[in-house]
Chains A and B, each alone.
Chain A
Amino acid sequence: MGAVIDLLNQAVRIAVPYILAAVGGTICELGGVVNIGLEGMILTGAFCAVLGSFYTGSAWAGVLAALMGGGLAAWLHGIVSIRYRGNQIISGLAVNILAGGITKFFLKAIFHSSANSSRVEGIGSWSLGFVSKIPILGEILSHPLLLLTLALVVLAQLLVYKTPFGLRLRAVGEHPECADTLGIRVHRMRYAAVILSGMFAALGGAWLSMDQHQFTDNMSGGRGYIALAALIFGKWTPAGAAAAALLFGLAEALQIHLQTMGLRVPNQFIQMIPYVATIVILAGAIGRTKPPAADGKPYPEGD
């Protein structure tokens, strides 16, 4: 029993950046903009969190800096893909290359190392007495960022399906002409969606670097692409994306546990799971899944 709880706790911790980036990416795609740049936005968030914490001594200022950095990276993706109606895939890939280059550039310039930053203040758990002893839930409740992640998943699901903003968002992603006719500002909605997604992904990055108390080179390590897989596997709903991300986290945790038990499953095969699963679901083998109708299509507002 203890081992199972350890496993689940670890799965949750592994899944946090997947969950946040996947939920953010879902919001972005529901608004009609594909976001391949999640990877770069996670990396930017991880780096900005360390910068913020390094210069102010406050980990929460770091989180704030991460949100700003991720929002800025996403805004750039927005300018290219919304304002200039450029190819969203290429723009996203460019954001990833840019984030990889710029974080290492400033890592060297500020911390004089090509591998890692100095140690900074991170965000630790708070003690809640007996509550912390409750399996899984105790772990989540006693870590502020885990709690925030859980809250954001719930809020995102409500935002998308229960608020006027969510309705407009989905309208803009499904049928922008129609939304435009009804007086919805298509571009403004899409900018909001893209920037929100960047902030979500950056918070995932902040989790990574705040957890390790430092930034390490290319810390995102492909997590943005796993998040992309999760949002498709979750069929373009925030809750679905979060569940898929958790599932992928569980697979990774399981591989680590099997290894300690002496059962060696080559980790390359575990790494493949999210990608194979996504191809399988896209090919329609496990029920049909469909992106928003105008996903990836630029809209010429006011032309």
Chain B
Amino acid sequence: MSGQWRKLGVQAGASVAAVAAAFAIGAVLMLLIGVNPGLVYARLFEGVVLNPYGVAQIFFKSTPLIFTGLAVALGFQAGLFNIGAEGQMLVGAFCAALAGFGLSMPAFLHVPVCLAAAFLGGMIWAAIPGALKIKTGAHEVITTIMMNFIAMALTSYFVVSRFHEPETVHTAAVAVTARLPRLEAFSSFFHGSPANATFFVALLACGVVSWLLWKMPLGYELRALGLSPAAAETAGIPVDRRALLAFAISGGLAGLAGTSFVLGYKHYFEDGFSAGAGFLGIAVALLGQNSPLGVVIAAFLFGGLSHGSLVINALVPKEIIEVLQALVIILVVVANQVSKRWAR
């Protein structure tokens, strides 16, 4: 047990050190263009952490990242590298919008139907590279990247040429019955923020994934597959079918990522709305060490940072935030490798 705690401590320490180092390098960049990094970081902390609106925005911005981070983390646990979360998110969001404005039914049914449509859309988009890997050995890293771009082009075509409202690049609004309420409807703390009930769907998804991976026989099989496919096969686990299932669940989770926007915020699908949340999911899973709890914490950090870009925009070009995010990713990769050598 103490060994496990030690390992966890080393991992957490490595992540914290990497984040600190990223902020230090960011400070050097700011000094380079004659900006006082102390002022910027103080404003960032004040505007994001100490301010109720900022905290509410962390909830809002982290919601899609929890889904995509969870999708990538579940894939990693089963030994797959799903870089396709971006595309799966787009297809899922588009399906949710279709079900939202195309169907009419009472709210207690409509919301779950839209969520199911999103899950299904992402699932199908991930099942294609999954099936290709199993049948032909085509590596999922490349095929999921390609599927991202196909999804971007396809949803763009549909929303620009087929399902758009005149003069816009978004679909019709989803029915009132398909909308998830904003959190400000429950507490004045969230006043003015688009944070919405999708956040709780995301937390629920984290709970379900934890339970699946660590309490269910199926989860045990998936993790066995991730640790050693050969050993899993010897133990009688149907490796191909489990791998396909892992692709499907991972894709479904990523498919849900756009529902915060479609069902909870703007209420329509808009061309290019995803803004890299799928790619950031990889960073979130990495920083969260592929555990659902870690994913939530990492999504808070990345979500807080992306809200922070608006807070500091007057002081420094807001792209410093993107730079910080990239530096965090690079340094976490390095820190993980270094700590692995220490932990031995």
Interface residues of A (CB under 8 A from B): 34, 36, 76, 79-80, 84-87, 89-91, 93-95, 97-98, 100-102, 104-106, 108-109, 114, 222, 225, 228-229, 232, 266, 268-269, 271-272, 275-276, 278-279, 282-284, 291, 296
| Inter-chain contact A275/B317, CB cutoff 8 Å | no
Q: In the complex, which residue of chain A has the Cβ closest to the Cβ of B324? A: A101
Chain B contacts for A76, CB-based, 8 A = 330
| Inter-chain contact B330/A282, CB cutoff 8 Å | no
**What does the 1/0 interface line of B157-198 toward A look like (CB < 8 Å)?**
100110000000000000000000000000000000000000
User: A86–B332 Cα gap in the complex (Å)?
Assistant: 10
Answer yes or no: B136 CB below 8 A from chain A CBs. Answer: yes
Q: In the complex, which residue of chain A has the Cβ closest to the Cβ of B143? A: A279
**Total CB contacts across the A-B interface at under 8 A:** 128
| Inter-chain contact B317/A93, CB cutoff 8 Å | no
Contact A90 to B329, CB < 8 A, known contacts A272-B149, A282-B142:
yes
| Inter-chain contact B322/A36, CB cutoff 8 Å | no
Contact A283 to B338, CB < 8 A, known contacts A36-B145, A90-B333, A266-B157:
no
Chain A contacts for B286, CB-based, 8 A = 90
Going nearest first, the 8 A-B pairs with the smallest beta carbon separation are A101-B322, A98-B326, A86-B333, A108-B317, A268-B157, A282-B138, A101-B323, A275-B146
Answer yes or no: B83 CB below 8 A from chain A CBs. Answer: yes
Q: Of A94, A101, A279, which is within 8 A of B321 by CB?
A: A101
Q: Of B142, B276, B282, B320, which is within 8 A of A278 by CB?
A: B142
User: A272–B87 Cα gap in the complex (Å)?
Assistant: 13
Chain A contacts for B276, CB-based, 8 A = 97
Q: Of B136, B153, B321, B326, which is within 8 A of A272 by CB?
A: B153
Chain A contacts for B321, CB-based, 8 A = 101
Answer yes or no: B132 CB below 8 A from chain A CBs. Answer: yes
User: A295–B337 Cα gap in the complex (Å)?
Assistant: 19
| Inter-chain contact B138/A284, CB cutoff 8 Å | yes
Chain A contacts for B138, CB-based, 8 A = 279, 282-284
A-B contact pairs, 13 of them (CB 8 A): A80-B334, A85-B337, A89-B141, A91-B333, A94-B283, A94-B326, A94-B333, A101-B322, A228-B142, A228-B145, A268-B154, A268-B160, A275-B150
Q: How many residues of B contact A (CB 8 A)?
A: 46
Answer yes or no: B33 CB below 8 A from chain A CBs. Answer: yes
Contact A80 to B333, CB < 8 A, known contacts A222-B149, A271-B149, A283-B136:
yes
With most chain B CB atoms within 10 A of its CB, the pick from A36, A101, A104, A222 is: A101
Answer yes or no: B279 CB below 8 A from chain A CBs. Answer: yes
| Inter-chain contact B142/A232, CB cutoff 8 Å | yes
Would you call the interface of chain A mostly helix, strand, loop, or mixed?
A: helix
Chain A contacts for B319, CB-based, 8 A = 100-102, 104-105, 108
Chain B contacts for A94, CB-based, 8 A = 283, 326, 329-330, 333
With most chain B CB atoms within 10 A of its CB, the pick from A105, A222, A269, A271 is: A105
| Inter-chain contact A282/B333, CB cutoff 8 Å | no
Q: In the complex, which residue of chain B has the Cβ closest to the Cβ of A104? A: B319
Chain B contacts for A228, CB-based, 8 A = 142, 145
Nearest CB of chain B from residue A54's CB, rounded to whole Å:
16
Q: In the complex, which residue of chain B has the Cβ closest to the Cβ of A270? A: B153
Chain B contacts for A271, CB-based, 8 A = 149, 153
Q: In the complex, which residue of chain A has the Cβ closest to the Cβ of B286? A: A90
Chain A contacts for B153, CB-based, 8 A = 268-269, 271-272
Chain A contacts for B283, CB-based, 8 A = 90, 94
Chain A contacts for B279, CB-based, 8 A = 93, 97
User: A76–B139 Cα gap in the complex (Å)?
Assistant: 25
| Inter-chain contact A282/B322, CB cutoff 8 Å | no
Q: In the complex, which residue of chain B has the Cβ closest to the Cβ of A86? A: B333
Chain B contacts for A100, CB-based, 8 A = 319, 322
Chain B contacts for A114, CB-based, 8 A = 317
